[in-house]
Each structure stands twice: as C-alpha cells, then as structure tokens.
Structure 1
Amino acid sequence: MVYRMIFNQSAYFGRGAIQEIPGVAKSHGFTKAFIVTDPVLVETGTVGKVTDVLDAAGMPYEIFDNVKPNPPVECIKDGVEKFAASGADFLIGLGGGSPQDTCKGIGIVAANPEFSDVLSLEGVADTKHPSVPIFGVPTTAGTASETTINYVVTDTANRRKFVAVDPHDIPLVAFVDPDLTDSMPRGLKVATGLDALTHAIEGYVTPGAWSLSDCLSMQTIRMIAANLAKSADGDVPAGEQMAYASYITGMAYSNVGLGLVHGMAHPLGGRLNVAHGVANGILLAPVMDYNKDYTGEKYRDIADAFGVAGAYDMPLDQARQAAVDAVRDLTVKLGNPTTISEVGATQDDLAGLAHDAFNDVCTPGNPRPATEADILAIYTSLM
C-alpha cells in the first residue's frame, strides 16, 4: 500500500513566531497581505499584534473580517470579491477554524474561479491550481487548519456543513505562536482542546492510519491528556503545549482522515449552529464506545496515555472500556455538555441529523462501518 503525506512547505513555532511573517513573505516575493480574520479578534487586539509586525516591516495589508462561526458560503464569496479588489498577492488566515477555513475557500476560489459557487468544492474537489499562497496563523489550539488539506463550509440555504478536501488548499507556511492563544477564554480552550483530542483519537483509529500518522496522533493524545485540563484552568506552559499538540495532530488527520465523531458533529453545526469543538466533546466518548471492538489494541495506548495503571496488562475489553471512561471523565471534568439536548437538539431534529451524518465525507473513515440507523441510535441516546 502507498501512503501520501502532505505538509506545509515550512512552519515556525514558539513565542514570537509571528515576527517571522514579513521576512518569510519577502523571501517569497510577496508584497501585500490580505488578512482574513473575525471581528472579535479585531476588537480584542489580536489582529493588531500581527499588523504591528507588518507595519514595522513596511509591508502593506488589507483586513477582511467578515467571518462568521461555521463559515457560510456567502462569507467566502464576499472575501473572493474583496481579495480581487485589494491588489494583495498572499493571504493570512488569522484565527481559529472559521477564519482559516474562510481563508482557504477564498484562496481556492480566487485561483480556481470555476468553483465560484463554493458548493461544488464539497468532498474531494477537482481543482487544477494551488490556492493563492496562504500563511496560517492560529489563535486557538484545536482545529489545526494551518496545516491541513481540509476546510469546512456551511451551506446556509440547506442548513448543513460540508467538508472540502483539497491538497491545493494547504497553507504554504504556518506560524504557531502561543502568544496568540494565551488569551482564549476558558470555554474556547475546552472546546478547541476537545476538537484536537478528537482529531488525534479519530486519526489514530481510522483504517487509513499507519506508522507515521500513529506517531503523530499518539504523541498528541499524550500531550492533550497531560495538558488540556491545566490549560483550561489558566496554566500558561500547558497552553503552549496545547498549541503545539493541535498542529501535530493536524499533520496526521489531514492525511489519514477522521471518522464518525466528525461525521456526526458537522450536522450539529450545520443545523443547530453548535460550536464544532463542543459537538465533538459531546460525541467523542459515545462514539469511542461504539467503535471499541473494532480498534485492535489501540485503546490500550489511549488508556495508558490517560494514566490508566496496567493498561497493557488487563484484558483487552477492560482496557478499551478504560479508554472510553477516561475520555468521558475528562469531558465531564472540563464542563463540556454531554447531551445534544443541552445544545438545542429536539426529537424532531434526530432523523435529519442522522441523514446528514451518514452522508458526511468523514463518516466512511470510521473503524466500524455505521448505518444510518446506528447513527440515529447514538444521537437518540444523547438526548
């Protein structure tokens, strides 16, 4: 079997990493940045940290902040128009998943205008040209959009989210600077951290996983198990480790795929506007339980990463259950919701959610093949 791995051309890590942006841009011959971000990051001064660096280097830029959570098609179309009028020659995706996914959509459509409807990018998009060059600058520790070949868009007309998978959209360079993630409020640290944990666990057990991706996924699980709760409580060094963990697992899952947690989380975002990390947190332990008999010995590793004593000595079924319990216990400790009714779902929503989840591009990556009836049963159990 042949495995393909696609990574950023280069990446910079550590406090102060954003100071490298102008020099890297100039080394590529770029002359003007188009910064894709959201209004909150403008208001809180996070965008100013980056624009101060560009100002000091004499590099012009334009800010586009028409980004909304669970980014809709309309924002991408607006961004494409604004980018075309800006005279910029590279993009900076500054923010969490929504700004960076919006940025990817803008970059892809600008380079491949035949996909200007955006909806045709769903699934494995047959684009011909690489995106307008993107610098990925995360301000959360969860999505890893700065190093993936995926982005998620909301089809607002049909109240659904879809995933675009396209090697042409990977950012040229990533800048992972924990100075930008320190100020996340606790709720966002929890949600994005659970998103990263979901990436790591799904990337570890998906049938497409292999030795290199396993190294990245397992290291991430260990880092998150050790640091997520502490980071949520304000521990700055733990927050720094979470920023790196998010990137590391992105390198893996972007290349080997995800599974049913993401397949079921996307409809919660598309239909009910549930924050993606929150949805993943609700679903992760229940889907792990659903999958546990289809994961070989890998749950032993997960249990051990969470500090379960004797994970490699106990019977396999006990080790698997211990891994599920450890993830469930962390979710409860963090205060993430554990039912979908807490985030607005009703019995009337369940059939539509199950239909969308069954057809989601991530669902076939699950280690246990899931029917629409199986998915409906899981959603129902979480009411």
Structure 2
Amino acid sequence: MSHRIVLPRLMEIGAGASGRIAQVLTDLGCRRPLIVTDRMMVELGYVARLAERLATADIPCECFADTLPEPTAASIRAGVEKVRQGNFDSIVALGGGSPIDSAKAIGILGTFGGEMRDYRFPRDVSEAGLPIIAVPTTAGTGSEVTRFTIITDETSDEKMLCAGLGFMPVAALIDYELTLSLPPRVTADTGIDALTHAIEAYVSRKASLYSDAQALQAMRLLGPNLRIAYRQPDNRVAREAMMLGSTLAGIAFSNASVALVHGMSRPIGAFFHVPHGLSNAMLLPTVTAFSIPAAPERYADCARAMGVAGEADSTEQANARLLQELRELNRELQVPGPAAFGIDRERFFSLRETMARQALASGSPGNNPRVPSEAEIADLYQHVWNQE
C-alpha cells in the first residue's frame, strides 16, 4: 500500500530564514504579494521589516492585517475582497496558525469564489489558488506545512475542517528567531498543540512509516524542550528545537491526519472561544487515557520518544508515565480546565451532545485508535470538566 506525501515545494529552515523572503518570492516567480497577518504582527514591527526587505528587492506589496485569533468565514471576507480587487500573484502569510489558516482560505476564495462552507470536509480541495508563502511566528500549529485550514462558521458556531492540496503552502520560511518574543502562555499552548499533533499522527489509523518518522522525531524535540522554552523564553537552543519539532509534527499530521483530541477540540473553540492549542491541552490527558487500550505499544513509543520512559520500561509502565507526564505538563504550564478558563458549566453541559455530534462529523475521531461513539464523546467532555 502506498501513501501520498504532500509537502511545500520549498522550505527555508533556521535562524534568519524569514530574511530570505524576497529571494523565495523571486524563485517562485512572484512579484506582487499580499501580506496576510494580524494586528500584533503590525504592532511588533514584523510587517514593516518584511515589507522593507521586499521593497529593497523592488517587490511591491500590500497588507491585510485584520485576521482574528480564531478565524471565521466573516473575518476573512475583507481579505477575499482585497484579493479579488487587487492584482496579487501570491500571499505571504505571516503569524501564527490563525493568519496562516486565514491566508489559505483567502487564497482559495479569492480565486474561485463561493463561501467557506462550500469547501468544508469531506470535499477534497485540489484547486490551486494563490500560492501561499508561510512565515510562522509560533512553534505550534504546523500550518505552514499542512494541507488543512480551520475556519469557523459564525452562523452555527461550527469549526469547519477544510482539506486538500489547494491549502498546502508552496513555501515555508521556518525561522525560530521569530518565536523569541512569544509570551509564556502562547509558548505553552502552541507547544502542547505541536505535541498533540505528533502523538495523534503517530497513533492515527492513517499513519505510515513516513509519518511515523516525522512524528517520533518531533516528540524527541518537543518533549525535552517545551518546559525550557516556557521558563526560559530567550533560550535559543530550546526555541529552535520547538520550531523544528512543530514543523515535523505538522508534516506528520498533514500526511497521517489528527484524531480524537482535535475532533473534540474544535467545538470547544467554536462555542467558547478557547484558543486551539489550549483546548487541545485540556483534552489531551483524558483522551489519551481513553485511547491507550486500543494501541498500547504505539503510546508507549510516544512516552519513550518524549524521554519520559526508557527502553527497559514495559508497555504498561511507559503508558503510565506518559499519562503522568501529560497531567504534570498541564499543571506546570498552568493549563486551565474549562471552568477555570471561564466557561459556564450549564452552557457547557447543555451543548455536550451538539459538540459530540460536531466532533464526530469532522471525521477526525474516525482516525483514533479507539473510535468513539457520539455518546462516548459526550461522556469524555463530562470527564474533562470533572477532572478539575
């Protein structure tokens, strides 16, 4: 059985990679990019520095900086309109996962029209929109190397998974120096997001030898360095490991798919506006405990790759240490549960069945080693609340 591997055409990886933006655009034959980003990137001066590099290379650009932390179909419409009215031949996506996800959607809608819901899973979006050059500024989502985007339908509070070759960036500039200014909360949430990507890719029913190699190496980088990056924001060795680990985890899940954690995470984000990485962190220990009986050896491999279990440990010992590590990681990185985050208990429980239905419909739970029923997902939501 063969596996299709999808990657960006070009990747620049390492310190100063973002400074290669003009050369990368030139190599791709792009001369008029639209920068898609958020207000924070403007305020921090990242956009101005990027635009200056482009101006020096005689590459004119414009900027759309109104993306939201959790992008909706409504929030990207102005960007889509800007593409339709402009004469752009490419998009530079600068920022965390939300600007990159927004840029992917803008590139497709700006080229082919329609509404975001028209492109939701299970449709396979193979159309090539405007080429995306992704410049990530967080070590977490892996969106710079994935064929997915997540956009919320604000009319139904549903996070729509959209997938296909059309959403894969043509280039990614992976510069860990852009993460040195990240605050601890963002470092924690995006770091656990990346770790979740690696674990779910490895235990996914769609895993392959190729995705396994990426996922295991990602865990070897992320496991020992997440706490260091959280406690020592200027530690360049840890930041570089986290950035590369995030990218490898992105490659892994883009080719093996995510599983139950992500399926359950999206409705929490849509209904209660919890950042994606944080909702993954809330769920990861509980969902892992639920799933281990169906793939104990695979989860034990994860524990060993993360450095929390040794080769001499039995499968049962390794999995016990994995669960202990995930719980301790949440405590040390101050991951709040749903109540501590401020979610209303009555509304959470009234939406449990709806969230379970949406999670199952997303398709991701079907990749889990232990495929849950809708009722089991509803029970897991209750467990996540009660574990506080």
Q: TM-score range by the shorter chain?
A: over 0.9
Distance in 1, matches of 2:363 and 2:120, equals 9
Distance in 1, matches of 2:229 and 2:47, equals 22
Show CA shifts across 1:243-281 (max 9, x none): 111111111100110101000100011111100000000
| Closer, same or farther: CA 275–102 of 1 in aligned 2, 3 Å | same
Q: Which moved more, 1:317-326 or 1:257-266?
A: 317-326
- Find the counterpart in structure 2 of residue 79 from structure 1: 79
- Find the counterpart in structure 1 of residue 368 from structure 2: 366
- Find the counterpart in structure 1 of residue 383 from structure 2: 381
Distance in 2, matches of 1:171 and 1:40, equals 22
- Find the counterpart in structure 1 of residue 198 from structure 2: 200
3-state secondary structure, aligned to 1:157:
coil
- Find the counterpart in structure 2 of residue 137 from structure 1: 135
Show CA shifts across 1:117-153 (max 9, x none): 1111111434452121110110111011111000000
AA aligned to 1:377 is D
Deviation at 1:106, TM superposition (A): 0.8
- Find the counterpart in structure 1 of residue 297 from structure 2: 297
Distance in 2, matches of 1:291 and 1:301, equals 14
Aligned residue runs from structure 1 range 259-278, under 5 A: 259-278=259-278
Deviation at 1:345, TM superposition (A): 4.5
3-state secondary structure, aligned to 1:175:
strand
Q: Does 1:333 align with 2:317?
A: no
Distance in 1, matches of 2:82 and 2:294, equals 48
Gaps of 5+ in 2: none
3-state secondary structure, aligned to 2:118:
helix
- Find the counterpart in structure 1 of residue 152 from structure 2: 154
- Find the counterpart in structure 2 of residue 286 from structure 1: 286
- Find the counterpart in structure 2 of residue 27 from structure 1: 27
Deviation at 1:59, TM superposition (A): 1.1
Q: Does 1:6 align with 2:6?
A: yes
Deviation at 1:29, TM superposition (A): 2.2
AA aligned to 2:318 is A
- Find the counterpart in structure 1 of residue 69 from structure 2: 69
- Find the counterpart in structure 2 of residue 306 from structure 1: 306
Show CA shifts across 1:5-33 (max 9, x none): 10010100111112211112122221111
Deviation at 1:285, TM superposition (A): 1.1
3-state secondary structure, aligned to 2:237:
helix
Q: Does 1:321 align with 2:291?
A: no
Contact 1:124–1:166 under 8 Å retained in 2: no
- Find the counterpart in structure 1 of residue 123 from structure 2: 125
Contact 2:67–2:102 under 8 Å retained in 1: yes
3-state secondary structure, aligned to 2:226:
helix
Contact 2:221–2:242 under 8 Å retained in 1: yes
3-state secondary structure, aligned to 1:75:
coil
Contact 2:224–2:307 under 8 Å retained in 1: no
Distance in 2, matches of 1:48 and 1:328, equals 41
- Find the counterpart in structure 2 of residue 232 from structure 1: 230
Contact 1:224–1:245 under 8 Å retained in 2: yes
Runs ≥4 residues deviating over 6 A: none
- Find the counterpart in structure 2 of residue 350 from structure 1: 352
Deviation at 1:48, TM superposition (A): 2.0
Q: Which moved more, 1:47-56 or 1:370-379?
A: 47-56
- Find the counterpart in structure 2 of residue 106 from structure 1: 106
Contact 1:300–1:312 under 8 Å retained in 2: no
Contact 2:127–2:165 under 8 Å retained in 1: no
Distance in 2, matches of 1:322 and 1:275, equals 27
AA aligned to 2:196 is T
Contact 1:161–1:267 under 8 Å retained in 2: yes
Show CA shifts across 1:161-199 (max 9, x none): 111011121000100011211111110000000100000
3-state secondary structure, aligned to 2:91:
strand
Distance in 1, matches of 2:111 and 2:278, equals 33
- Find the counterpart in structure 2 of residue 256 from structure 1: 256
Deviation at 1:287, TM superposition (A): 0.6
Contact 2:125–2:165 under 8 Å retained in 1: no
Contact 1:268–1:274 under 8 Å retained in 2: yes
3-state secondary structure, aligned to 1:74:
coil
Distance in 2, matches of 1:127 and 1:212, equals 23
| Closer, same or farther: CA 300–82 of 1 in aligned 2, 3 Å | same
Contact 1:161–1:266 under 8 Å retained in 2: yes
TM-score (norm 2): 0.94
Deviation at 1:313, TM superposition (A): 3.3
- Find the counterpart in structure 1 of residue 97 from structure 2: 97
Contact 1:340–1:379 under 8 Å retained in 2: no
TM-score (norm 1): 0.95
3-state secondary structure, aligned to 2:134:
strand
Deviation at 1:219, TM superposition (A): 0.7
Distance in 2, matches of 1:127 and 1:249, equals 22
Show CA shifts across 1:328-369 (max 9, x none): 2112111112x2222314232322222222222312111101
Contact 2:91–2:132 under 8 Å retained in 1: yes
3-state secondary structure, aligned to 2:74:
helix
Gaps of 5+ in 1: none
Q: Which moved more, 1:54-63 or 1:252-261?
A: 54-63
Contact 2:126–2:165 under 8 Å retained in 1: no
CA RMSD of aligned residues (A): 1.4
Deviation at 1:327, TM superposition (A): 1.7
Distance in 2, matches of 1:254 and 1:141, equals 16
3-state secondary structure, aligned to 1:161:
strand
AA aligned to 2:21 is I
Deviation at 1:95, TM superposition (A): 0.7
